[in-house]
Amino acid sequence: MQATSPKQSHAGHAEAHHEEPGFWSKYIFSTDHKIIGIQYGLTALTFLLFGFCLMLMMRWQIAHPGQPVPLVGPLLAKVLGGVAAGGVMSADLYNSFGAMHGTIMVFLAVVPLAFGAFGNYVVPLMIGAPDMAFPRVNMASYQAYVVGGIIMFVSFFIPGGAAQAGWTSYSPLATSIPTDGQTFWLVGMIFLITSSLLGAVNFIATIIQLRAPGMTWMRLPFFVWAQFVTGFLLLLAFPPLEAAGLMQLMDKVAGTSFFLPTGLAVGGQLADVSGGGSPLLWQHLFWFLGHPEVYVLILPAMGIVCEVISNNTRKQIWGYKSLVYSSLAIGFLSFIVWAHHMYLTGMGTKISTFFQTTTMIISIPSVIILTCFFISLWGGSIRFNTPMLFALAFLPMFGIGGLTGLPLGFSASDLHLHDTYYVIAHFHYVVAPGTIFALFAGIYYWFPKMTGRLMSEYWGRVHFWGSLIFMNVVFQPMFAQGMAGMIRRMADGGANYSLARVPDAIGGLSDTIMSLHTLILWGGIGLGLVQIPFIINVFWSIKHGRKVTSDNPWDATTLEWQTPTPPPHGNFAAEPTVHRGPYDYSLPGKAKDFTPQNEPDQGGKH
């Protein structure tokens, strides 16, 4: 299949790109999975940085409530007007930034990076396919993502600003805030959901249909399995949120009451609506997506970690089958745990009991996966390069995140911890030093395949150690704050509930707990600074990095390394045939310590 007509999209830019007539169809409207993967990657990294900056400004506000934001304060005041008067972040703006930070990080940064970018670039190569099954659908998926992103971004600048009701957009709050931010959010989400659905259909169909000869299911690299399960999660969990989004949009623009209860009063006045709706319905539909979504965030990360660990321990991954079955189990179970986010809604103890049970059960496969990775390290002669450092750090960081989820999974302890900074710390440990570290590992690992050059090891290490330290400085204190009762989403960081302000308040926040805000702010600034070497490293290495001397610089076994570098359109010169499992490292009796999947046996079995 060919890209969209280069002539049409070319017309307006004929002068600028005379020499390379294929520019638009080659880089912008490409249907090549590798280009689309890179497009996804760059866009998602941009959003990642943007989402991070939002949070940094919020951390300043929490640590120094009511003081103008340094450096960018005047800019905020100029661009956003009243909500940032004098460069001070108002509570409304804080709410907008918070809601959009979550939305951007989850839907515009991490998932597009983990699924859209790595999935697109790597999966077809790994299974020995020439491209995705539906290249034009693939392009449409990226375009829908960009449109959704633009709508979200533009919403900051409309009167009243962006959505303010959190990334979870609970009704009736989300509906009754009188600005249009939520409407933009919903329309943007519909595009993002469409993008995910198109992507999911494409990925699953590709993995089912386009595996090279000999690439049986049990010879698939674990990364492909992880993407496969992720695809199903997106395919089946997102539509109910789309349904919910449509209903909330109706509530917002057509005056319906899907999520508005009878007798709803807004600002002391009875709202002019029919009522009869159910706020709980929104929460059920949201978390029906929301929980599978967290596994969408983590499964591709586990896939990357698996590839990197096996490659750098020069060993078979331990328990390949357990990994596969565990990821499938996670896939199924993640559809029946959602209401553990809703213990405090009064949905009833029977329902709580059910969801506590399933939540405990789902942690078993997660633990199995982590255990397999740990055991895989045993007795390996580990190469400590940058991808491996990030992959290794993923293990304890995800471990902390997962273990701290258990107290949240019991409704008795969740009673105390719900909606506190403890929850924030929990999920950031899984997503930030967890998933994002794995994504960094993936970038350092596959960069040579994409560009033919290696990223700088030295600056990679600076990036790694800095990130590891500052991530923990940022998120570790939040456990303490949460357990001390600090509620999330407060624009003043809890100053109103502090002992400093109300000395005799029972359960007021102590000075120590409040002062952690300052520590976290500096941790956040540090974390931002150590990303600078990374950003420079990425762009500098494209042109100036050390050239790879072979197509397979890491001596890896999987098929993506058995192609030219970078792989041409169509990927493989000839269709590869697969003869073995994905991790045949250090086979006895072989000259090399790795045996690529497409290397035939010379007589007999290995």
Q: Where on the chain is the footprint of Cu ion (CB under 5 A)? A: 291
Task: Tell whether residue 243 is a contact of other proteins (CB under 8 A).
Answer: yes
Task: Tell whether residue 348 is a contact of other proteins (CB under 8 A).
Answer: no
Q: How far is the CB of 606 from ligand HEM (least distance, A)?
A: 36
Q: Tell me, what DSSP letter sits at residue 28?
A: I
Mask for 455-494, x = binds ligand HEM (CB under 6 A): ----------------------------------------
Q: How many residues bind ligand HEM (CB under 6 A)?
A: 23
Task: Tell whether residue 204 is a contact of other proteins (CB under 8 A).
Answer: yes
Judged on CB neighbours under 10 Å (0-12, 13-18, 19+), 13 is exposed
Alpha-carbon span 598 to 356, nearest angstrom: 46
Q: Which residue in the shown chain puts its C-beta closest to ligand HEM? A: 405
Task: Tell whether residue 140 is a contact of other proteins (CB under 8 A).
Answer: no
Q: Is the CB of residue 222 less than 8 Å from the CB of residue 323? A: yes
Residue 423 binding result from other proteins, ligand HEM, Cu ion, none, given CB thresholds of 5 to 8 Å by partner type: ligand HEM
Alpha-carbon span 163 to 183, nearest angstrom: 8
Angle between helices 279-313 and 421-430 (to 10 degrees): 40
Q: How far is the CB of 274 from other proteins (least distance, A)?
A: 5
Q: How far is the CB of 83 from ligand HEM (least distance, A)?
A: 23
Of 366 and 571, CB closest to ligand HEM: 366
Mask for 209-228, x = binds other proteins (CB under 8 A): xx------------------
Candidates 99, 237, 323, 368; binder of other proteins (CB under 8 A) is 237
Candidates 341, 463, 517, 579; binder of ligand HEM (CB under 6 A) is 341
Of 231 and 409, CB closest to ligand HEM: 409
Task: Tell whether residue 246 is a contact of other proteins (CB under 8 A).
Answer: yes
Q: How far is the CB of 407 from ligand HEM (least distance, A)?
A: 8
Alpha-carbon span 496 to 498, nearest angstrom: 6
Task: Tell whether residue 297 is a contact of ligand HEM (CB under 6 A).
Answer: yes
Q: How far is the CB of 325 from ligand HEM (least distance, A)?
A: 17
Which candidate, 107, 112, 99, places its Cα nearest to that of 54?
Answer: 99
Which candidate, 587, 266, 295, 589, places its Cα nearest to that of 435?
Answer: 295
453 DSSP β-pair partners = 547
270 DSSP β-pair partners = 265
Task: Tell whether residue 178 is a contact of other proteins (CB under 8 A).
Answer: no
Candidates 147, 205, 462, 469; binder of other proteins (CB under 8 A) is 205
Residue 134 binding result from other proteins, Cu ion, ligand HEM, none, given CB thresholds of 5 to 8 Å by partner type: other proteins
Q: Is the CB of residue 335 less than 8 Å from the CB of residue 281? A: no
Provide the 3-class DSSP secondary structure of residue 556: coil
Q: Is the CB of residue 307 less than 8 Å from the CB of residue 445? A: yes
Task: Tell whether residue 571 is a contact of other proteins (CB under 8 A).
Answer: yes
Q: How far is the CB of 206 from other proteins (least distance, A)?
A: 8
Residue 288 binding result from other proteins, ligand HEM, Cu ion, none, given CB thresholds of 5 to 8 Å by partner type: other proteins
The residues near 235 (Cβ < 8 Å, ≥ 6 apart) are: 197, 200, 201, 204
Alpha-carbon span 440 to 455, nearest angstrom: 12
Per CB under 8 A, which region of 104-112, 146-154, 257-265, 595-603 contacts other proteins? 257-265
Of 397 and 513, CB closest to ligand HEM: 397
Candidates 60, 320, 572, 585; binder of other proteins (CB under 8 A) is 572
Question: Three-state SS string across 112-172, please?
Answer: HHHHHHHHHHHHHHHCCCCCCCCHHHHHHHHHHHHHHHHHHHHHHHCCCCCCCCCCCCCCC
Task: Tell whether residue 339 is a contact of ligand HEM (CB under 6 A).
Answer: no
Task: Tell whether residue 370 is a contact of ligand HEM (CB under 6 A).
Answer: no
81 DSSP β-pair partners = none
Task: Tell whether residue 310 is a contact of other proteins (CB under 8 A).
Answer: no
Q: Which amino acid is located at 272 in the chain?
A: D
Q: Quick one: tokens of 601?
A: 């046996």
Helix H or strand E segment including 100: helix 91-103
Q: How far is the CB of 358 from ligand HEM (least distance, A)?
A: 10
Alpha-carbon span 204 to 222, nearest angstrom: 15
Angle between helices 457-483 and 531-544 (to 10 degrees): 150
Q: Tell me, what DSSP letter sits at residue 404?
A: H
Helix H or strand E segment including 242: helix 222-253
Alpha-carbon span 150 to 154, nearest angstrom: 6
The residues near 473 (Cβ < 8 Å, ≥ 6 apart) are: 519, 520, 522, 523, 526, 527
Residues contributing to the site for ligand HEM (CB under 6 A): 168, 294, 297-298, 340-341, 359, 363, 366, 402, 405-406, 408-409, 414, 417-418, 423, 426-427, 430-431, 435
Residues contributing to the site for other proteins (CB under 8 A): 1, 129-131, 133-135, 137, 197, 200-202, 204-205, 208-210, 235-244, 246-247, 250, 254-258, 262, 272-274, 276-278, 281, 284-285, 288, 570-572, 574-575
